[in-house]
Amino acid sequence: MVLAQSHRSSSRIRTILNVALLLSLALAILTHTTTTSAQDPSTSNQDGTPAPIINTVPPKSGNFKVTDSPGILTEEQYKRFDFDIWRMWEDGLPAAIFIRYSNDANQASQDFADALRDQWDIESSPGADDGLVMVVTIRERFPQTAILSLSYGENAFPQGQMTIPVLNDILEREVLPRIRTGNVNDGLTYAVRRILYYAEYTAPFPAPLTRGQETLHSLALPVSLIAGLLLLALVALPTRFLPHPGKNQWLMFAGAGFLVVFAFMLAAAGRNAAASGVALIDLVLALVLFASTTWRNNRRFPPKRIRITRRAVRGRVHPYRSRRMRSA
Amino acid sequence: MPDRQLPGTLPIRTNPVHIRRASNVLPWWRQRMPMLLLDLLVGIALFAMSFSINLGHIETTGFHPDETRWLNRAYYIEDLTDPYGSTWQDYYLTRGQPPLGSYVIGLGQWVQGKSMHPNLVWDFYYGGSSNWNTIAGAMPSHENLMAGRRTSAFVGGLAVMVAYFISRKLTNIGGGIVTALCIAFHRLNWGIGSQALSDQTLLLTLGLIVLVGFQFMKRPNWPWAITLGVMFGLGGAAKLSPLVLSGVATGMGCILLFRWLLVPVPLSQRLKDRSTGIKLVVQPFIAFATFVLVYPYLWVEPLRRSWYLYDFRIREMASQGATFEGTKVNGIVDTFSRITSQIGTSRQISYQLMEWMNEHLGTNFSMIKGLDLAIGSVAILFVVMLALKSGLRSPHFFTIVLLGAEAGIIIYGLRSDFYRYYLPLVLIMFICVGVMVGMILEWLVSKSSWAPPKRPIDITRQSGLFIRVARRHRPARIRRHARSGKSRQPTLV
């Protein structure tokens, strides 16, 4: 219109240029739209309607850990989730909840969750890749239904004994049925608290044995058995056959005790349960033998006879023999 | 036999006496059989009484979320077969509490045929009355809860029996019975005894430590020394504080080892001191070894993980004080005021007695605040007197030192005000009261006509020795007596 009101001489050229510009703009828009649809066919909804272009991740701001843009959570619920997510961060699992209105299908929602985790840097340190993002997508057309999309880094799981299969099982059994029926609060509560429970109150899996530990593991049982046999040989037999144990026996006890403790330490270092059990039995055996020997020594009756002899006589001739000799 | 004479001495006769074990003298256990039987009967009766009192309250005592924690860990005893499995890794639960209480609860579940996994872990972040814990499966079923409580009641009964034996050892049966009755009927005791907690296990191990300590000082040999160390370790495995008691034993051992530097001690005493002292000094090592052995979590890194346990307990007590309003204890004065309010008001045996009298006898007594504690304070004087009278190396002294040290540890280490933490103080207080009553009874009996006549000590009976005097040195009276065949038991002349 502006061009039409300009000078008559140059108006034709300008009109042509403007038309060309408008046509090129229209063509560009049309080309862009068809390219997007071609690149990602999943962006169209299941009912055939084209997906709106709202997959742009909003900038990270404010309390990014719980974002409820539709405002479906009450204040109390919001605080509860905020607290739970804080606990997750404390447990070493950086997490965020994002609730939004969208007509995105499953894959689009999943892409959004991935993009959100990536662009908001939900991880404990740069490159840790241990974050978890839960995106709840509520359909604009059907607000009573929702989609939960979880995006987690490679190092996010296992948490305690929560592995990916366990997580999927919990999602299938407890979370998704609630989310699908629009009960976002309950579904998210189950998801967040089950993950928290596993992260805090279940034991981590034992680390695999190192090469050195494997060697110790294989050595531990024979050493424990040998220690037990030596214990019996060193302690039990002299205890049985030596009526008056002396200093040597204490040395034997010390040696056997050391050996048993060494066997137990070896078993513990090699994480060998059977060897630890044998070493424990050895230890108890050693203690019982030690206690019984000292007990017997303590309760041993003093010498049966008190002989009073002259110092000069003692050691030279046995008093009994001397008496016999004299009487003879 | 000719007389022999050492140069410059009077002539002596050789070989005048023969000492051998008398075949007709009863062994010690048969000599003391009537007393042992009586003690055992009284002990069992007191156990049965306490157990029944605790059992009578398990249905009515209020639920405490801590019970779920102990029930949850019942599987510990099952997983002992896999000491390097995931149960014993380093995480919240293994750091949270030492394992003995869980073992006891697990054993109870197993004996009663209940589940070893009765519930999930109660999450205290969602409060004591939160619906979430019930939904999430952290609330045990009624059956499992009652099974756990029955276990606790049983252990509580045993603790009362041990308390009886402690006072009995320190004084007499009268003192023991008073101690046991006071503890069994005490509201705090049966309250905790009817909840599935580990505090009764702690009480039992504490009692056993004191009892074994008494026996050790009576016969300071290695078997008793090892038993004492093991008991310290087991006490530590119930709650950590008894481990510190082994340090007290070491202190006592050091005093015995080095007291001759300060005061003159005869050589024979010094040798005994040395023997006893060495056995006391090694107590922390035996205790720690036991503590580590009973807890597979510690096997891999004993020192570091023990520190984790200790550090966790300290931080948790502090956080309890910060989280639960009004429970934080500020200093020693505050501690004493908390003790007064917890076991000096409605949780008093004197108050319970008054209540009973008001109800059944129609009297009109009102509660006297702190009466139990006042009686306990007077009893402490008696106990101190008994310790001083008995001497440094006596069993009484050591027992009383252990009791005092445990009380000191609790009072000093109290960071948050929870009713359960006062149960050991109740035990110690009523042992003191029992000792006081026993001493008074002894004094009364000695002054009354019931006092048994004083007899000379029969050395042959006491020592189990048969001392035979050579025939030609026996007086004619004994020779005649022996010939007559009336006695198989010659008498020492």
| Beta-carbon separation of A308 and B15 below 8 A | yes
Q: What is the pTM of this model?
A: 0.81
- What is the pLDDT at residue B141? 95
Using a CB-CB distance cutoff of 8 angstroms, which residues of chain B are in contact with residue A306?
17-19
Q: How many CB atoms lie within 10 A of CB B274?
A: 15
Amino acid at B469: V
Q: Pick from B290, B341, B135: which is nearest to A189 by CA? A: B135
Q: What's the pLDDT score for residue B493?
A: 38
How far apart are the C-alpha atoms of A250 and A258, rounded to whole Å? Answer: 12
Q: Which of chain B's residues have a Cβ under 8 Å away from the Cβ of A197? A: 120-121, 123, 136
Q: CB atoms < 10 A from the CB of B233, how many? A: 28
Best mutation site among B1, B89, B278 for testing chain A: the one with the most A CBs within 10 Å? B89
Pick A306's closest partner by Cβ from B19, B221, B299: B19
Task: Compare CB distances from B86 to A161, A197, A302 and report the shortest one's residue.
Answer: A161
Min Cα separation A294/chain B (Å) = 7
CA distance B246 to B74: 28
Whole-angstrom Cα distance, residue B159 to residue B163? 6
pLDDT digits (tens, 9 = 90+) for B200-250: 999 999 999 999 999 999 999 888 999 999 999 999 999 998 999 999 999
Q: How many Cβ atoms from other residues are within 10 Å of residue A115's Cβ?
A: 16
ipTM: 0.77
Report the C-alpha gap between B246 and B282 in whole angstroms.
9
Res B6 pLDDT > 60: no
**Taking Cα atoms as reference points, which of B97, B113, B125 lies closest to residue B197?**
B97
Q: Which residues of B touch A (CB under 8 A)?
A: 1-2, 4, 6, 12, 14-21, 81-94, 120-121, 123, 125, 132, 136, 219, 221-223, 226, 293, 299-300
pLDDT 10s digits, B103-155: 999 999 999 999 999 999 999 888 766 688 998 899 999 999 999 999 999 99
Closest Cα to residue B163, out of B374, B432, B459? B432
Chain B residue numbers with beta carbons less than 8 Å from the beta carbon of A287 are: 226
- φ/ψ of residue B20, rounded to 5: -145, 165
CB-closest option in B19, B132, B300 to A305? B19
Phi and psi, residue B453, nearest 5°: -65, 145
For chain A, the residues whose C-beta falls within 8 A of a C-beta of chain B are: 83, 87, 160-161, 189, 193-194, 196-197, 200-206, 268-269, 271-273, 276, 280, 283, 287, 290-292, 294-295, 298, 301-302, 304-311, 319, 323, 326
Taking the CA of residue B100 and the nearest CA in chain A, the distance in Å comes to 18
Read off the pLDDT band of B172 (50, 70, 90). Answer: very high
Please compute, for residue A90, the number of CA atoms within 13 A of its CA located in the half-sphere on the CB side: 8
- Say what the pLDDT of residue A22 is: 67
| φ and ψ of B465, to 5 deg | -100, 145
Contacts of B135 (CB under 8 A, 6+ apart): none
Residues B71 and B196: beta-carbon distance below 8 Å: yes
* Minimal C-alpha gap between B33 and chain A (Å): 20
Q: In angstroms, rounded to a whole number, what is the distance separating the alpha carbons of residues A37 and A160? A: 42
When CB atoms are compared, the residue of A189, A200, A273 closest to B82 is A273
Q: Do B226 and A291 touch (CB under 8 A)?
A: yes
Q: Rounded distance, CA B189 to CA B98, Å?
A: 22
Which of A82, A163, A310 best probes binding to B when mutated, by most B CB atoms within 10 angstroms? Answer: A310
Residues of chain A with pLDDT under 50: 1-6, 31-46, 49-54, 301-306, 311-314, 328
Task: Give the pLDDT confidence score for residue A114 in this predicted structure.
Answer: 94
- pLDDT at position B425, please? 95
Rounded to a whole number, what is the distance in Å from the CA of A242 to chain B's nearest CA?
A: 20
CA pair distance A138, B60, nearest whole angstrom: 48
The angle at the Cα of B138, spanning B187 to A151, to the nearest 5 degrees, equals: 150
